[in-house]
Amino acid sequence: MKRRAFISLLGGAAAWPLAARAQQPMRVIGYLSGASMTGESGFRQGLKETGLIEGRDFAIEYRSTNGRIDRLPAIVADVVARRVSVILAVSDSFALAAKAGTTAIPIVYIGGNDPVRIGLVSSLNSPDGNVTGVTVLNVEIAAKRLQLLNELIPTAPTIVALLDPGTPNFEIDSENLVAAAKVLGVQVEILRAATPAELGSSLEAIAQRRLGPVVVGSSPFFNTQGKHIATLAIRHALPAQPLRRIPRRGDLHRTDSQG
């Protein structure tokens, strides 16, 4: 499918004459996320601002893993079986799972890593296949995160990186953080957590060993555990900083040659 067809699939309906809209079948969007259903409110608002009306121009099939990455293949299969018009994947993990589940349905994703390196697209200018979207390249700010923590707590013996091994960016995040720590001349230790129990035990171990401040990686699981992480960090008096951030307009990189 052509890239322009991707981009116009959702927004193009806004320019249709009313009579033509009435003759068009309703487009169904498969929305894949790791958070609760409130997460797609901004997406709905964006479609509304383009003139699209839910129930007339489009419908949303929302599917959430609720932080359980092992549920991804099942929810992707369910969405594909419903023959949705397009799949919106709100993370690299979801995009990769959607790509593995279909080569026919267009996939639009929002990610945080290099899509070429993780195997999501063949290149930024010519992604090919059925995937397009944006990435905020979170891994590129790893060095700055470590630098800020090192400046805030220069006496800390070690900075800890808490990462989710179930995400496709685990190895990339680990490599980038270790490389950044070497440049800064600080020690970094990688700890893994993929369940609430592992999260609790990891933060407790950090406190008991008095390792130092914590950089929390980006993952669908961690996205659902914000309050839990904050509570545990406060309980153990651990300075913690997420790798995720709210992207600014200039930070977004389209994976096609039109942006």
Domains identified in the chain and CATH numbers: 3-135 (3.40.50.2300), 139-242 (3.40.50.2300)
Please tell me the distance from the alpha carbon of residue 257 to that of residue 181, in angstroms, as a whole number. Answer: 34
C-alpha torsion angle, residues 192, 245, 41, 33 (rounded to 10): -30
Residue 150 amino acid letter: N
Please tell me the distance from the alpha carbon of residue 133 to that of residue 111, in angstroms, as a whole number. Answer: 8
Q: What is the pTM of this model?
A: 0.60
CB 54 within 8 A of CB 44: yes
The half-sphere exposure of 187 on its side-chain side, counting CA atoms within 13 A, is 7
Q: What is the pLDDT along the chain (259 residues), one digit of tens a residue?
A: 455 554 455 554 444 454 444 555 788 999 998 766 555 667 888 888 888 888 888 999 888 887 677 888 999 999 999 999 999 998 888 899 999 999 999 999 988 777 888 888 888 777 778 998 887 766 566 667 778 888 888 888 788 888 888 887 788 788 888 888 888 888 889 999 988 889 889 888 888 888 888 888 877 788 778 888 888 888 888 887 764 443 333 333 444 433 3
